[in-house]
Structure 1
Amino acid sequence: MNYKELAVKILKAVGGDENVQHLEHCSTRLRMTLVDDKKVKIKELQNIPGVLGVNQTAQCQVIIGNSVVEVYDEMKKLISNKGNNKEENKSEKKVSVVLLDFLISVFQPLIPAIAGGGVLKSVLMLLNLLGILKNNTDVYKILNFAGDAPLYFLPILVAITVANKMKVNPLVSVAAVGALLTPNLAAMLGSKTGAVFFNIHVQNINYAYQVFPAILCILLYSQLEKFFNKISPKVIRSFFVPMMCLLIVVPTTLLILGPLGFNFGQYFAKVVMFIFAKFGWVAVALLASVLPFMVTTGMHKAMIPYVITALGQTGKELIYNAASLAHNISEGGACFAVAIRTKDKTLKTTATSAGISAMFGITEPALYGVTILHKRVLYGVMIGAFSGGAYLGIKAVEAYVAVGPGIASLSMFISQTIPKNIINAIVGLIISFIVSFIAVMILWREASLRQVEEDKEVKERFNAPLEGQLISLTEVKDQVFSSKVMGDGIAIIPSKGELYAPADGVIELVYETKHCLAMKSKNGSEIMFHIGIDTVNLKGKYFDPKVSVGKEVKKGDLLMTFELDNIINEGFDPTSMIIITNRPDAKIDVIDNQKVSKKDYVFEIN
């Protein structure tokens, strides 16, 4: 689901950001207080893919379901009116989390341009090696300039991404960093006398291909822009703020920030080369073998700044791309082995298509559709990746482009100075494929038909999480729950303010307003507990959760206490819903037992 696109469509249908006076969310819905309710286009809202329903009462309630938090976050970014974001999470994030988020936000958008230019250069080298297009021709040189441009002007690209992240003027940011790349300045710095700024010598640095000087430059500019916007009269702000920022930022970067960033980049490159020199092929092999876990958890994103920095500083990268090539091809080999061995037609089709994607550098279909679902396949992938990664590491295979390695992007390993680099990459590819293919062919075990049938007959039983009167979900006086758009389940009118775990599992979510929490049972059922109707408006009053996210619980454990009498006295319906949100096709059998306690089992899932 594209949350940003969904948020844009919803905002348009409710009359735009100027019509939203206040925005919040509960466990399933966006809740908006609007300036003019008549501007809402209800039918248009209802027809938006991803919107489950609309309630127009004192608030405009747009029912989203489990993805409400993500859509809410995108809505916050789109709404410009002051005071709309009162529900922002004020908890402080760890410095490491903030730093990682910043680096990924800056470097991730650079990849398409760098990859496109790099692949173009590698294709040109291939054409030169084949004698099709000689490197001394004007055609070759012009196209090579185009391929080299993204890395040469990397400081400009970084200026844009940092400006977007810091929410400052990207054009002034480009102007500030662009000053470092002007030919006349480069000539002045490289002259015999050098450059002097108010009796201070300016260090001669070639800022092309650099990353960190540009980052430091725009970080300083972002603070200055905010400062001068506050003190500048509005009538001259349009030119005064950029002028003052450039006046301070450019000299400060040339004298302090530029040399600091340049030296850090040089040191960073040396550290990378030291790691490879110290650990060699072992580093590549181990990284390749753990990439299945890194990709599934998103940890591989942390490698992007390193890859781009290494390419900018040295023009090559020795560890991550080689490891990725071994892993990607191992995923392909494993999937093709599964396609041959399995008798399950659906899995055979999935494995075949996922294997093809993996061979071309796109591993998500293989990882999520095959590998992590079958531990023997995972073992085979790890064995193949380690073997191929070890060979690539021993041969010190270099990559020259930041792109997902695969058959279509093998030109990223072409080198004019190391002719065997591409050959070694191909050999590593073959080793990874063959080893993982053979490993999975040997390790694969097909589940017996009897076991499959037994699995289908297994029923998951749930005890009552509340004491009180059991009623059908269709009797709940809330259309969202009674129509089962959130999923099937049961409802209980509680007689006691205690919520218990109906099965063994793990707590997945405790809502900020405390009236709702969610857990996943040990068999994978996702259960949402919603205490009362519209109790989100109590904003946590009368609710006391006894568990936190990630806590393992046993059947019968106390999850929450709530002041039942006070909730009723406030005028809220205490009817509580227990919904299975991730099994729309499962058959839920409700036990015929009107008065229930936590010792009674009340429903089961086939």
Structure 2
Amino acid sequence: MDHKKTAEEILKHLGGNENVESASHCVTRLRLSIKDMSKVNDQAIKTLKDVNGTVNQGGQYQIVIGPKVEQVYKEFEMAVSKEKPVSSRNSNPAETPKKKNVFSRMLDVLMSCFIPIIPIIAGSGMIKVLCTILVSAGVLTNESSTLQILNLMGDGVFYFLPFFVAFTAAKKFNTDHFAAMVMAAILLHPNLMAMSAEGATSTSFIGIPLQLLSYSSQAVPIILAVWLMSYVNPIADRLSPAMVKVFLRPMLTILIVAPVMLIVFGPFGDFLGGYFGKFVDVMNTWGWIAVSINALIFPFLVITGTHNALIPLIITMFATKGFDPVLIVSGLVVNIAQAGAAFAVALKTKNNQMRGIGLSAGVASLFGITEPALYGVNLRLKRPFIAVLIGSTLAGAVAGITGVTAYSFVGPSIISLPIFIGDEGFISLVWVILTVITSFVLTFIAVWLIGFKDPVDEEKESNPTVTNTLEGKDVNDSPVENVVEEHVGSPLKGEAIRLSQVNDEAFATESMGKGFAIIPSEGRVVAPFDGTVVVISKTKHAVALVSDNGMELLIHVGIDTVKLKGNHFNLEVQTGDQVQKGDTLMLFDKEEIKNLGYDLTTSIVVTNSDRYPNIQHKTGNVTYGDHVLNT
């Protein structure tokens, strides 16, 4: 993968750096805040070699890259910063982006606060797993001082979670990082903790009641405090004279924000925490039902890009409960199910390209990276995705019944199975291995039984062997190696002719690619195959499609009809639409355009002709859907 080239191509199709408000990334995706989505060429981004798909959800545009996303992100940041930083996109009021709804903004804040700290939480969690393994293996005892110190190493990030969240929140809200961490220090100050430890439940500040709570492992109060600080700090800066600003600005910020945090935000966070605890208890009570339901829903969360909204819940669960019997477990069975489906497709397909994609995507899913399998195989072929839902749901039930529980927040995969080892010892590892096997095998069998429409098989079924019709040749006489055969139906009704007969040098010389032309007898254009609309000319007279097997086809109605500026043309599709063979793409007023003196000869060109050594086409009278071109 050429990370620099990929990043530059993405930026170009996003509409340039002026259209990018902010950028971040998670494990597999670039997550972008875009000013004007109408400037984004979504289909062009999707067709980039190293992009597995895109999601526009919750006010955030996400580009699915895979495990190399961090390298692409770094190159993307460098490409953007050639002109100006990503974080300073709103300097022009005329280009202020549309406001997101409240839910989208809240989701964006939560993900921005928690996603950056996942690696350190995962690393700390693995230390806790190491402690469990050492005790289970008899290497250390529960009374060992070594074990106690190791536990301190693993627990530190959860106890002091407000500090980490304060830093990421300050970055998100673009405010003073050090003032934000002061707020975290106030929440965790030993004297405040000591007041509640002495049995008091409340005190007062300038006569206002102040509830005494434990703020270790809490995130909501500090996020709200930093949000408030993002408004207070600029005001304090303006009010502070330059001579004393160095201390007066932070002093005013602390004096205003800290009391509000302790009196209002703290109890509010505790209130939410209480309801979250009840939610966790309900999920634990439901047991295998909760795991099955979450496993069924999880793939849809990944598709919409909202699965990361669970991260704050998971982190809070580990910080307060110390384990997760539902969410990470559900993620594990879904990841393995995606792998099982991808491997089944790889073994069953007759398409060499799909076989390669299935094998690589299956391996990636076993290691926790599911987007290649989800977008490149299972969702694309539809039925394997149904098999994933079946396998995930059933395996989730097995996991719930056997009591599989995660004791550390690490991305679920076959290499992180030790996170499921608990106080029961290695028997818990046996149960999780059984769950993994169940998820993989059941999904694999489901794909094998349900089947799927293989790209090659689908074409063979809908297009029987054609002989002696394509320029008098048998298409089976010229096999094309390593290229999937394409069978193109006629997009118009009329007379098919050679491109060399077209009165337009660009088409007649085949400089744009090989193909044929049709002199239309009706003003209607239909899809010549199953595929995607990738380009529509602004003047509506031309449309480009990509077939499901990768053929790029341009349908150009008339000669010099660009001068009509879209008049007398009506489009029935838009860029990015999925179309089936025979779907109407365009209507045009044949008689009116002809009366205006335009030649309506329509060129149909394979723009990636170099991929097909042998392109053959039919001439003579054709109607919609007739087999006119073969590779």
Structure 2 residue 70 is matched with structure 1 residue 99: no
Q: Distance in 1 between the 2:10 and 2:293 partners?
A: 45
Whole-Å separation in 2 of the counterparts to 1:560 and 1:174: 64
- The more displaced of 387-396 and 289-298 is 289-298
Report deviation, 1:548. Answer: 6.4
The two structures have a TM-score, normalised by structure 2, of 0.65
SS of 2:214's equivalent? coil
Q: 1:458 to 1:128 in 2, by over 3 A?
A: same
How far 1:462 moved relative to its partner? 6.9
Report how far residue 377 of structure 1 moved. Answer: 3.7
Q: Residue 32 of structure 1 corresponds to which residue in structure 2? A: none
- Checking the alignment, whether the CA contact within 8 Å between 1:334 and 1:436 is kept in structure 2 is yes
CA distance in 2, matches of 1:259, 1:26: 44
The Cα offsets for residues 402-448 of structure 1, whole Å up to 9 and x where unpaired, read as 22212221222222378754443233223223333444455557969
Residue among 222, 226, 235 paired with 2:234: 226
Give the distance between the partners of 1:235 and 1:475, measured in 2 at CA.
77
SS state at 1:325 partner: helix
Q: For 1:259 and 1:269, how far apart are their aligned partners in 2?
A: 15
Secondary structure of 2:139 counterpart: coil
SS in 2 for 1:78: coil
1:395: Cα distance to partner?
Answer: 3.6
Match of 2:393 in 1: 386
Deviates more, 1:158-167 or 1:121-130: 158-167
How big is the shift at 1:525? 6.5
Moved more, 137-146 or 121-130: 137-146
The answer for the alignment partner of 2:153 in structure 1 is 146
Is 1:585–2:585 an aligned residue pair? no
Corresponding residue of 1:317: 324
1:167 aligns with one of 164, 174, 196: 174
Instruction: Note the C-alpha offset of 1:125.
Output: 0.9
Give me the whole-angstrom Cα distance separating, in 1, the residues matched to 2:204 and 2:457: 83
User: Pick from 243, 248, 253: which aligns with 2:251?
Assistant: 243
- Answering whether residue 294 of structure 2 is matched by residue 268 of structure 1, we say no
CA contact (8 A) 2:381 2:453 kept: no
Query: What one-letter code is carried by the residue in structure 2 that aligns with 1:268?
Result: F
Alignment CA distance shift 1:236-1:203 (3 Å): same
Q: Deviations over 1:45-88 (max 9, x none)?
A: xxxx99xxxxxxxxxxxxxxxxxxx9799567538598567545
Once structures 1 and 2 are overlaid, which stretch shifts more, 251-260 or 397-406?
A: 397-406
How many angstroms apart in 2 are the aligned matches of 1:349 and 1:8?
A: 25
Deviation at 1:140, TM superposition (A): 2.1
Shifted more, 163-172 versus 354-363: the winner is 354-363
Q: 1 CA distance for matches of 2:366 and 2:414?
A: 6
Q: In the alignment, which residue of structure 2 is the partner of 1:62?
A: none
State the Cα deviation string for residues 210-240 of structure 1 (Å, max 9, x = none): 1211211111111212333444445544433
Go from structure 1 to structure 2 and tell me whether the alpha carbon gap of 1:253 and 1:342 turns closer, same or farther (over 3 Å shift): same
Counterpart of 2:309 in structure 1 is 302
Match of 2:331, SS state, is: helix
Match of 1:209 among 190, 208, 217: 217
Q: Percent identity?
A: 32
Give yes or no for the alignment of 1:197 onto 2:205.
yes
Q: Evaluate the alpha carbon distance shift between residue 170 and residue 287 of structure 1 in structure 2; reply closer, same or farther with a 3 A threshold.
A: same
Q: Equivalents in 2 of 1:81, 1:265: separation in Å?
A: 36
Q: Which whole-Å CA distance do the structure 1 matches of 2:584 and 2:455 have between them?
A: 35
The match for 1:428 among 426, 435, 440 is: 435
**Shift in Å, 1:449:** 8.0
Counterpart in the other structure of 2:116: 109
Query: What residue is the counterpart of 1:34 in the other structure?
Result: none
> Secondary structure of 1:122's partner?
helix
- Cα deviation per residue 1:128-155 (whole Å; 9 max; x = unaligned)? 1101133333322222211111211211
3-state SS, counterpart of residue 611 of structure 2:
coil
For 1:281, the equivalent position in structure 2 comes to 288
Aligned residues of 2:459 and 2:487 also touching (Cα < 8 A): no
Take 2:583 and 2:143, find their aligned partners in 1: how far apart are those partners? 75
1:289 Cα offset (Å):
3.6
Q: Give the conservation status (yes or no) of the 8 Å contact 1:3–1:74.
A: no
Q: Residue 56 of structure 1 corresponds to which residue in structure 2?
A: none
Pair 1:230–1:604, CA change in 2 (3 A)? farther
Is 1:367 the equivalent of 2:395?
no
Secondary structure, aligned partner of 1:93:
coil
Partner Cα separation in structure 2 for residue 517 and residue 71 of structure 1: 30
Question: 1:330-479 maps to which residues of 2 (within 5 A)?
Answer: 330-338=337-345, 350-416=357-423, 421-443=428-450, 456-460=484-488, 471=504
Whether the 8 Å CA contact 1:217–1:258 is kept in 2: the answer is no
Amino acid in the other structure paired with 2:108: D
> How has the CA–CA distance of structure 1 residues 448 and 263 changed in structure 2, closer, same or farther, with 3 Å as cutoff?
closer
CA distance in structure 2 between the aligned counterparts of 1:438 and 1:89, rounded to whole angstroms: 48
Matched residue count? 534
Q: Alpha carbons of 1:109 and 1:83: their partners in 2 closer, same or farther (altered >3 Å)? A: closer
Cα distance in 2 for partners of 1:114, 1:422 equals 22
Residue by residue over 1:340-378, the C-alpha shift from the partner in whole angstroms, topping out at 9 and shown as x without a partner, is: 556666655554444343333333343344433445544
Partner SS, residue 460 of structure 1 = strand
Contact in 2 for aligned 1:189/1:203 (Cα 8 Å): no
- Matches of 1:500 and 1:301 in 2, distance apart? 43
Distance 1:284 1:463, change over 3 A: same
Counterpart of 1:248 in 2: which secondary structure?
helix
**RMSD across aligned C-alpha pairs, in angstroms?**
5.7
Q: What TM-score comes out, normalization by structure 1 length?
A: 0.68
SS at match of 1:132: coil
Aligned to 2:473: none
Q: 1:294 to 1:225 in 2, by over 3 A?
A: same
Instruction: Tell me if the contact between 1:125 and 1:415 (Cα under 8 Å) persists in the aligned partners.
Output: yes
Give the aligned residue type for 1:168: T
C-alpha distance in 1 between matches for 2:460 and 2:310? 44
Asked if 1 retains the 8 angstrom alpha-carbon contact of 2:349 and 2:454, the reply is no
Matches within 5 A, 1:64-75: 74=80
SS of structure 2 residue aligned to 1:328: helix
Provide the C-alpha distance between the structure 2 equivalents of 1:483 and 1:85, rounded to a whole number of angstroms: 45
Which residue of structure 1 lines up, in the alignment, with residue 267 of structure 2? 259
Question: What are the superposed Cα offsets for residues 219-267 of structure 1, whole Å, 9 maximum, x if unpaired?
Answer: 1111212333444445544433322111111121111111111211221
Report the secondary structure of 2:204's partner residue: strand
Question: Residue type of the partner of 2:101?
Answer: K
Cα distance in structure 1, aligned partners of 2:534 and 2:294: 32
Distance of aligned partners of 1:449 and 1:217 in 2 relative to their CA distance in 1, 3 Å threshold: closer
Q: Using a 3 Å threshold, how does the CA distance of structure 1 residues 580 and 189 change in structure 2: closer, same or farther?
A: farther
- Judging changes above 3 Å, is the alpha-carbon distance between structure 1 residues 604 and 226 closer, same or farther for their aligned structure 2 residues? farther
